[in-house]
Amino acid sequence: MKSKQPFILPFFTIFLVSSLLGITGVWAQSDNNGDRRVTANYFISNTTVIPEPGKILSNYDVIFKNGTISEIGKKLSIPIDAKEIKGDSLFVYPAFIDMGSKYGVSSPDLPEKPKDFDPSNPPSELAGIHPHYSAANHYQLNASMEDEWRKLGFTVAQKIPEGNGMLPGTVALLIYGHPGNSNLLLEKGPLFFRFNTVGGVYPNTKLAIMAKWRDLFQNTLLYREHQVSYADNKSIGRVAIDPVLDALIPLTENKMSLLVESKSELEIRSALKMQEENNFNLILLGVNEGTELIPTLKSKGVGIVLSLGLPEDKFSDSLDESEQGADYDERLERIRKAYNESLRLASHYEEAGIPFAFTSMDVEKEDFFDNLKLMIENGLSKGAALAALTTHPARLLEMEEVMGSITPGKMANMVLMTDSLFSENAKVAMVISDGYLFDYTEKNKKEKEADQVWAYAAKTPVGQSKGTWEFTKKDDKWSGKVSYDNPQGKGTKTAQTKNLRITDESISFSFEVITDDTTMEVIVDGKINENKFEGNMDIKGYNQFTVQAIKKDKPTKKP
Amino acid sequence: MKMQRNFFGNSFDKMRKINLVFWCICLLVSHGLRAQIDGEVIKPYKANFLLTNAKIFTVTNGILEDTDLLIEEGLIKSIGKDISHENHTVIDCSGKSVYPGFIDSGTSLGLVEVNSIAETQDYMELGKLTPQMEALTAVNPNSVAIPVTRVSGVTTVLTQPRGGYFPGTAALINLNGYTPDQMYGGFKGVIMNFPSGVRSGRYDNRSLDDIQKAKTKALDEIDALWDKAATYLSIKNKGGEIDYYPEMEQLSRVLTTELLLLIEVNAAKDIVSALEWIEGRDLRVVLTGVAEGWKVADKIAEAGVSVITGPVLALPTRDADNYDAPYNNPALLHEAGVKVALRTNDTENVRNLPFNAGFAAAYGLGSADALKAITLNPAEIFGVDDQLGSLEEGKNATLFIADGDPFEPKTQIQQVFIDGYRIPMTNRHIRLYQEFLDREMKP
Amino acid sequence: MKMKKLLLAGLLIWLAPQVNAQDKNSGDVLIKNATVITITNGTLENTDVMVRKGIITEIGTDLKAPKNTHTVDASDKFLMPGIIDAHSHLALEVINESSSPITAEVKMGDVIDPFDISIYRALAGGVTISHAMHGSANVIGGQNVTLKHRYGTRDPKKLIMEEAPRTIKFALGENPTRVHGRGKNLQPRSRMGVEAVIRNGFEEALQYKAVWEKWNKEKQNKEVNSPPPTYNSRLQTLVDILDGKIIIHCHSYRADEIYMLIQVCRSFGIDKIVFTHANEGFKVAPELAKYTMGASVFADWWAYKFEVYYSTAYNAAILTKNGVVTSINSDSDELIRHLYHEAAKTQRYGGLSEEEALALITINPAKQLGIDKWVGSIEVGKQADLVIFDNHPLSIYAIPQMTLVDGVRYFDRDNDQADQRLKIDPKRFPDPFRLSTGEHKCMHDVDMLFTKNYQN
C-alpha cells in the first residue's frame, strides 16, 4: 500500500500535464498506440514447463523480470509488479534458435568497378570476398517478418550475410524482441563461407574458390607475422592494411569459427578438406544429405546445422510411362528410398550422438512444423528435435549461459504452446522474447460450441474425480476435450481425446495425463442410456475405476 | 605533248620498254623453260574392270568363293566363275573380298567443312517450316571430307538438313562427281523432327504437365501445317489457282506419297507418340534416330515402320540404362522384326560407319544382318535397291575390294568403285601421311 | 557316424561365411588359362596370373591359388593391362576455371565427383585409369589428377591414384584465344599472345622464387629486414614446373604452336612435357621424339575446328614410327568406352602392329603420366589393373568381360546390372532423357563461344 501512492502520483501528474498541454508523444513515456507494456515483470502461473529436453515440470510457476528468468518453482508467490499469465492449459518450452536465417538481410553495396577492371584479377569485394562486412550492418528490421518467425516459436536468429561470393561476411546474432529496441546480441559471429561465386570474375568456379581460400589463409598468417614483426622492428616497413586479411586473423587463431554453407555431400567433403589443410573451427550450415559422413564429422568435432527443408515427394510419379520397362518398379523404389533417407537424416545424426542445430534457410514458414513432424515420424525423437532448436544451438553459439533452456539467469525467451510440442493440434499461443510478451492466441475466434457436453464423476480410491467431456463433430469426425482434476494439485487440466468413438449406444476414447514423472494413458469405455453414461475408466498400468456421466442440456438459443 | 597513259596508268614511253621486256619473258617461259610441276593427281576413271578370284559378299545371294565380277559401262555386267579377260583391266582379287558399297543412312556430309566455323555450315536454315530446302544442291562436291570418307568403303550417303520442325529435303548421294547432279543417288526425302514430350537433360525442371503441354502445342502447330498442305494439294488437284508456296508444295509431295517422310524421334515415349501420329495417315514413313527404340521395339514392329538408327557408338540415353544399351539397340530392333538401317549421323567421320556396324554385329546383330543394315536395307528404304545394296548383275558397280572383313579396323580397303569409276585411293589424310612419315629435315 | 556328419556340417557352416567373404573387395584373384598380352614381354598363351592384395605376384602355368581365393576361368579369353586414358574429364564437378589465362593454382583433385556414372561405363570399356584434366580454356590451366576407377566409393579421395606424379594442363591455339582474347579482351588473342603469356608466367615465377628464397634465407639467419612476401600459389606452381616437379600436358593442334612450346620449354630447361591432341604432331614428329615425353592423340577426330582441318588419321602411326612415345586418348565420356577400338584404327591408318597399337593405350600413356612403374603392363610386381576380353582386343568383335582395378572386380559383364547409379538425389527430377554422342569435353563450361553442331 505504501508503495503505491508515490508510484501513482508522479505518473498522474505527468499525464495531467501532458493532457493539458495537448501534447502526446513528446514525452518518451507516452504511448498513443498502446504498444507499450505496463510492466517488464511477468508470472506464468500453474503451467507445464519443459525447461530442457527430457524434463517435464508440472504445475510450475515461472517468474521473469526485465528480460531475464528469475525463478521457476512450485507455488511461488506472484510479485506485486508482475503481470500474470495463466498457464493452466499451456506448455512452456525454451524458445527456438535459428542457426541460419537470411530473412531481412540485404545485399551489400559494392564499390564501383574501377576503370582498369580486370576480371581475372578483380578487387576483393567485386569478387565476392568481403569477410569484413557484417550482416548486422545490412539487416533491415521488418517487424512483420520478424513476427511471422516469432509466431513459429523463434526468438533468436543468426543472420547470414548476403553475397554471391565465397566470403560474404560475418554472421550477426539477433533477437526478435520489441521492435523499438536494439536487438543485436552479437555483431561479429562466425565467418560465413559458401561455395558460390559472383560470376564473370576470378574466382568463377569451385576450383578457384578452393585455391583462393588456400592463398587467403596463408597470406593471413603472413600478414599477421608482418604485423607482429613490425611492432618490434620498424625497419621492415609498415603493414598495408587489408580489411579482408584483418577479418580472417581471428579464424587462423581459432578465435572464430568458419560457418560453411554445405548443400551437398561433396561440399561437406570440400569443407572437411579445407579444414584438414588449415586448422580452424568448422561449422557446417544447411546439411541435407551425406549419412556416410557422420562418423567422420563426429570424430572431427565439426559443428552441424541441419537444414529444415525436405525434398518434395512428387518425384515418384515423374517417371515416364516409357519407363514402364522391366525395371520400372526398381527405379521407382530407388527414388522412394532416397526420399525416405533424406527424411531420416536428422535421426541418423541423433543416433550418432551429434548435437546438431537447425537452420531455416531452405524451408518455407508454412512447412516448418510439418517438416519437423515428418522427421519425427522418421526416427527423430521429439527430445532431439527440441534440443536441436534450443540447447544445441545455444552451445554452438557459445551462448549457453544466457539461452537455450528455461533456467534462472538466462534470457526470458520462451514459447507457450496449447499442447505438447509436435502433437497434432498444438499451436503457439504466446511467445516471450527478450522478456516481451507476444500473444498469438486466437481470441476472437469463436470457440465452436461442443455438440455434446457430459459431466462425469469417477470413483477413485482418493475420492471422486470430476470433470467434463466435450465432444464436437466436424465433417463426420468426432473430436473431444476432457477436463479432469489435476492429480498433483489444485485446478483442472484438459486433454484432447484420442480414438473417440461415439454411437447412440456407446462412447469410448482415451486421453493422456501428463505428470512430473510419467505420462499415463487413460481409456474410457461405456454404454449410453438416454442421457446417462455408465462405464469404466482404465488408467493403464494402474487401476480401473467406474465412471458415470450425465449429458448436459445444450443451452437453447434465445429467440 | 600530252603524256599518254596506258591501262596501268604508267607513262606510255616507259611502259613500252617494260611491256616489251615483259612479253619477251612470257614467250621464253611458255616455249622453252616449262614450269616444273611435281606430283600427278590421280583422278577417278571409268573402264571395264574384271575382278578375278574374289570372295564375293553378294548380300542377296550368299557368299561366293573364288568368283569373278565384271564391271562394264558403270554396271555389274556379270558375276561368275572364269569370266573371260578379253581386254578388260584385270584386278587379281585372290585372297580378297568384294563388298557392295556401304550406305550411310544419315549424315550431313558435304554440307559443312569446319563445324566450329559458322560460315562453313550449310545444313541449317532459319525457320521452323523449311521442307523445301534442298540438301542436294548445297552439297560441296569438293569437300575435303568426301575423299576421306569413300576410301573406307562408304560409297553412298544420305545427306540431310537439320533444325526446326521441317529442316528440309535430304538427298542420297554417291561420293563421286564434280557436281551434285553427278553425285545424285536417286532418292530424296523430307525430314520432320517430331516434338519431344520427355524431360530432356539435367537442367530441364519443367513439370511433366508443362512438358506435355509444350509438346502438344508443337504437335498442333505441325498438324496445322499438314492440314494446310492438304488443302493446298486438294486445290491443286482440282486444278484451282494457287499462289507460289514452296513449303506447301514440298509437303504436298509427301502427302501424295511421292516423297518419303523421315521422322526424327528418339525417346521411347516420343516414338510411341510418333507411331500413333502416323497411324491413319496414308504416308510413306521411316523413323530415324530411334535411340530408345529397343524399349518399344514391339510397337515399332507392329506398326510395320522401318528404322534408321545410329550412331551405335553413342552414350546410353539415361543414367540408369545399361551401359551397352546403344550397342544393343539395332539387334533388339531387328529381333522384334523391324527393318534396321544404320547411320553415323556424322559430318567428317562418316568413315566410321563400318565400325558402327561392327559394334552392332558384336552386340547381338551378327555380321550378316549388320552388313545388310548398311547395304540392302537402306537401298530398299530409299527405293534404290534396283541399283544399289547388293552385288547382282545389272546393279551399279558401286563396290570395293578389301583384304579382309571391312568391319575390322586392321583390314585395308584396297580399291573402291563408284558407278564403275575406279576411285583414287587417296585423300588429304593419306597425302599428309606420305609426306610426313619420314620428314627429311630433322632437328 | 552321426557325430561325423554333425562335425562335417559344423565345419561347412564355419567355412561358409569365409567362402562368401571372397567378394569383389578382396584384391586377391587367380586368373587362369588366358592369352596374356603383357605388352612389355610379348603374348603368352594359356597362362595364369596370380594377384595378391592387388599386386601381380606370379605369371606362369598351373598356378595354384591359396584357399578362398576367387578364381576366374579365362580359357579362350584375352587378358591385357587395364586401359589408361591420358586425356579425360570424367568424374569432375567442374572442368574449366576460365576467368584467367593462367590458373595453375587450381587443382582438379578438389572437384572429383565419385558419383559420375561415366566411371562405370569406362570400366565397362576396360579403362582402369583416367587422367582427369582441367579444360582447355586457359593457356595454363589447373593441376590434373590421375584417377583409378574404383567405382562405388562416395569418398573422392579414394579415386585418386596416390603414386601418380603431379601434372598440369596447358592449352594453345583457338581455345584460349577465343575464351580470353575474343571473349574478354584479355591477352592472348593470337598464337603470338599465347607464347607471351607463357613466357610472362615463367619469368614472373622465377622472380617470385628469388624473392622467397631471399626472405627465407633472411629468416633462417634471423636477419629479417624485409616484410614477408605475398604467398601466391599460382606462381608457386609455376616454380614447381620449372623445378621439374610437374609434368606438363599441353593441349595443342598446330605444328607451329607445338614447335613453339618445345622451344620455350627448352629455353627454361623443362623436359617433362607431353603434347595432347597434337593433331599436327606428325609434322614435327622428330622434334617431339627428341625433346618431349611424347604425344597423346585422337584416333581420327578432325575438322571440327579450323586448327584440326589439316589433320590425318595416320597421326599416331607416323609419330610411333618416328620414335615418339604415343598414346591414344578420348577427351570424351563416349570415346573412353571403346579406346581398344580407337587403338585398333592405327592398324588401318598406318599399319601399326598389334604390339604397337596396344602400347598406345597401356604402357605409353602410363609413361606419359609418370606411372609406368606401377601400371601399363602385366609384370610381376605391378598393380593388378587388368581387363579380360572375349576376343582379341583389337578386333571389332571384342567385348570386355571383366575389369579389375587393384585386383578388385569392378566390372563383370556376366553380373552387370542396368542401374549402376550410386546416388539418387531426391531434390532432382529422376533420370532425364539425354541424347549425346560424346562432346569434346575440353571446352565444357565455355562452349557457348563455339557454334553448336546439330541443333535439332
Identify the pLDDT of residue B225. Answer: 96
Q: Which chains border C (3 or more CB–CB pairs < 8 Å)?
A: A, B
Identify the pLDDT of residue A367. Answer: 93
- Measure the CA–CA gap between C338 and B269, rounded to whole angstroms: 29
Checking if the pLDDT of C441 tops 70, the result is no
CA distances from B87 to B1, B146, C143, C156 (A): 74, 32, 67, 72
A376 and A236 co-located in one domain: yes
- Specify the 3-state DSSP secondary structure of B182: helix
The neighbour count for residue A439, using CB atoms within 10 Å, is 11
Sort out which chain A residues have CB atoms less than 8 A from C228's CB and list them.
222, 225-226, 229
Identify the pLDDT of residue C18. Answer: 41
Checking if the pLDDT of B122 tops 90, the result is yes
Identify the pLDDT of residue B16. Answer: 59
Count residue pairs from A and C with Cβ separation < 8 A: 128
Checking if the pLDDT of C442 tops 80, the result is no
- Name the closest residue on chain A to residue C144, using Cα atoms: A207
Mean pLDDT of chain B: 92
Assigned C-alpha cell, A42: 511477468
- Min mean pLDDT across A180-189, A305-314, A437-446, C364-373 is at A437-446
The 3-state DSSP composition of chain A as helix, strand, coil percent (nearest 5) reads 30, 30, 40
- Measure the CA–CA gap between A528 and B392, rounded to whole angstroms: 100
CB within 8 Å of C120: residues ≥ 6 apart:
B323, C151, C410, C411, C420
Mean pLDDT of the region B256-273: 96
User: Taking a C-beta distance cutoff of 8 angstroms, is the pair C229, C212 a contact?
Assistant: yes
Assigned C-alpha cell, B428: 588429304
Domain count, chain A: 2
Nearest to A229 among C100, C224, C445 (CB): C224
Identify the pLDDT of residue B113. Answer: 95
- Min mean pLDDT across A200-214, A433-447, C126-140 is at A433-447
Checking if the pLDDT of A10 tops 50, the result is no
- Min mean pLDDT across A531-535, B15-19, C117-121, C166-170 is at B15-19
CB contact under 8 A, B269 and A331: no
Query: What is the per-residue pLDDT across A488-499, written as a single tens digit (0 to 9) for each?
Result: 666 778 888 888
Identify the pLDDT of residue B17. Answer: 57
> Is there a domain that residue A354 lies in?
yes
Chain C interface mutation, best of A116, A207, A324, highest count of C Cβ atoms under 10 Å:
A207
**Strand locations in B224-332 (E):** 260-265, 285-289, 306-309
- Min mean pLDDT across B206-220, B378-392, C229-243, C311-325 is at B206-220
CB within 8 Å of B268: residues ≥ 6 apart:
A320, A322, B292, B293, B295, B296
CB contact under 8 A, A322 and B208: no
Mean pLDDT of chain C: 92
Picking from A406, A426, A441, the residue at the C-terminal end of a domain is A406
- Measure the CA–CA gap between B325 and B342, rounded to whole angstroms: 15
Judged by CB atoms within 8 Å, which residues 253-272 of B form the interface with C? Answer: 264, 266-267
A236 and A384 co-located in one domain: yes
User: Taking a C-beta distance cutoff of 8 angstroms, is the pair B403, B96 a contact?
Assistant: yes
Identify the pLDDT of residue A446. Answer: 58
Sort out which chain C residues have CB atoms less than 8 A from A273's CB and list them.
110
Chain B interface mutation, best of A322, A329, A331, A335, highest count of B Cβ atoms under 10 Å:
A322
> C36: left (phi > 0), else alpha (psi -120 to 50), else beta?
beta
- Specify the 3-state DSSP secondary structure of A178: coil
SS3 labels along C147-184:
EECCCCCCCHHHHECCCCCEEEEEECCHHHHHHHHHHH
- Per DSSP, A67 falls in state T
- Min mean pLDDT across A537-551, B260-274, B292-306, C34-48 is at A537-551
Mean pLDDT of the region A54-70: 93
Tell the burial category of A521 from Cβ atoms under 10 Å away from its Cβ (0-12, 13-18, 19+): middle
- Specify the 3-state DSSP secondary structure of C112: strand
Sort out which chain C residues have CB atoms less than 8 A from A320's CB and list them.
433
Report the amino acid identity of residue B23.
W
Judged by CB atoms within 8 Å, which residues 292-321 of A form the interface with B? Answer: 317-318, 320-321
Assigned C-alpha cell, A16: 495531467
Q: How far is B232 from chain A (nearest CA, A)?
A: 37
Residue indicated by cell numbers 556401304: B102
Identify the pLDDT of residue B95. Answer: 97
Q: Does any CB of chain B come closer than 8 Å to the CB of residue A337?
A: no
**Range from A77-86, A136-145, B402-411 that averages highest in pLDDT:** B402-411
Q: What are the sequence ranges of the domains in chain C?
A: 26-81+376-415, 83-374
Q: What are the sequence ranges of the domains in chain B?
A: 38-101+390-443, 102-388
Q: Is the peptide bond before A203 cis (omega within 30 degrees of 0)?
A: yes
A397 and A500 co-located in one domain: no
Checking if the pLDDT of A326 tops 50, the result is yes
Identify the pLDDT of residue B162. Answer: 95
A164 and A278 co-located in one domain: yes
Query: What is the per-residue pLDDT across B415-424, written as a single tens digit (0 to 9) for each?
Result: 999 999 999 9
CB contact under 8 A, C231 and A222: yes
Picking from A406, A431, A460, the residue at the C-terminal end of a domain is A406
Sort out which chain A residues have CB atoms less than 8 A from C431's CB and list them.
319, 323, 331
Identify the pLDDT of residue B14. Answer: 55
- Place C22 in a pLDDT band, splitting at 50, 70 and 90: very low
- Place B21 in a pLDDT band, splitting at 50, 70 and 90: low
Checking if the pLDDT of C17 tops 80, the result is no
Q: In Å, how far from its chain's centre is CA B385?
A: 16
Q: What is the CATH number of the domain that holds A465?
A: 2.40.128.120
Identify the pLDDT of residue A7. Answer: 41
CA distances from B243 to A450, B232, C19, C82 (A): 80, 10, 83, 67
**Does CATH number 3.20.20.140 belong to domain C83-374?**
yes
Identify the pLDDT of residue A313. Answer: 77
- Place A14 in a pLDDT band, splitting at 50, 70 and 90: very low
Assigned fold of B38-101+390-443: Urease, subunit C; domain 1 (2.30.40)
CA distances from B97 to B65, B393, C349 (A): 9, 17, 19
Query: What is the per-residue pLDDT across A450-470, written as a single tens digit (0 to 9) for each?
Result: 678 888 888 877 677 788 888
Checking if the pLDDT of A162 tops 60, the result is yes
- Measure the CA–CA gap between C413 and C387, rounded to whole angstroms: 11
Sort out which chain B residues have CB atoms less than 8 A from A331's CB and list them.
320
Domain assignment of residue A349, given as a range: 124-406
Q: Does any CB of chain A come closer than 8 Å to the CB of residue C430?
A: yes
Sort out which chain A residues have CB atoms less than 8 A from C430's CB and list them.
315, 318-319, 331, 335
* Residue whose C-alpha is closest to residue C329's, from C350, C315, C347: C315
User: Taking a C-beta distance cutoff of 8 angstroms, is the pair B379, B385 a contact?
Assistant: yes
- Name the closest residue on chain B to residue C288, using Cα atoms: B443
Nearest to C184 among A119, A205, A320 (CB): A119
Query: What is the per-residue pLDDT across B59-99, written as a single tens digit (0 to 9) for each?
Result: 999 999 999 999 999 999 999 999 999 999 999 999 999 99
CB contact under 8 A, C421 and B320: yes
User: Taking a C-beta distance cutoff of 8 angstroms, is the pair B429, B149 a contact?
Assistant: no
Tell me which of 3.90.1280.10, 3.30.360.10, 3.20.20.140, 3.30.429.10 is the CATH number of domain B102-388.
Answer: 3.20.20.140
- Min mean pLDDT across A429-433, A503-507, B342-346 is at A503-507
Q: Is the peptide bond before C188 cis (omega within 30 degrees of 0)?
A: yes
* Residue whose C-alpha is closest to residue A498's, from A466, A475, A521, A517: A521
Picking from A372, A387, A406, the residue at the C-terminal end of a domain is A406
Query: What is the per-residue pLDDT across A92-109, written as a single tens digit (0 to 9) for each?
Result: 999 999 999 998 899 999
A352 and A495 co-located in one domain: no
DSSP letter for each residue of C316-355 = HHHHHHTT--EEE--SSTTGGGGHHHHHHHHHHTT---HH
Nearest to B362 among C287, C399, C417 (CB): C399
Checking if the pLDDT of A165 tops 80, the result is yes
Mean pLDDT of the region A347-366: 95
DSSP letter for each residue of A71-126 = EEEESPPPPTTPEEEE-TT-EEEEPEEEEEE-TTBPPPPPPPPPTT--TTS--GGG
What's the ipTM? 0.91
- Min mean pLDDT across A465-474, C315-324, C384-393 is at A465-474
- Name the closest residue on chain B to residue A334, using Cα atoms: B320
- Per DSSP, C83 falls in state E
Query: What is the per-residue pLDDT across A370-405, written as a single tens digit (0 to 9) for each?
Result: 999 999 999 999 999 999 999 999 999 999 999 999
Q: Which chains border B (3 or more CB–CB pairs < 8 Å)?
A: A, C
Q: What are phi and psi of A123, to 5 degrees?
A: -60, 150
Identify the pLDDT of residue B290. Answer: 97
Nearest to C435 among B124, B291, B442 (CB): B291
Query: What is the per-residue pLDDT across B133-178, written as a single tens digit (0 to 9) for each?
Result: 999 999 999 999 999 999 999 999 999 999 999 999 999 999 999 9
Mean pLDDT of chain A: 87
Q: Is the peptide bond before C156 cis (omega within 30 degrees of 0)?
A: no
Assigned fold of C26-81+376-415: Urease, subunit C; domain 1 (2.30.40)
Q: Does any CB of chain B come closer than 8 Å to the CB of residue A233?
A: no
Identify the pLDDT of residue C112. Answer: 98
User: Taking a C-beta distance cutoff of 8 angstroms, is the pair B191, B433 a contact?
Assistant: no
Sort out which chain A residues have CB atoms less than 8 A from C106's CB and list them.
207-208, 210-211
- Min mean pLDDT across A140-149, A299-308, C237-246, C320-329 is at A140-149
CB contact under 8 A, C93 and A265: no
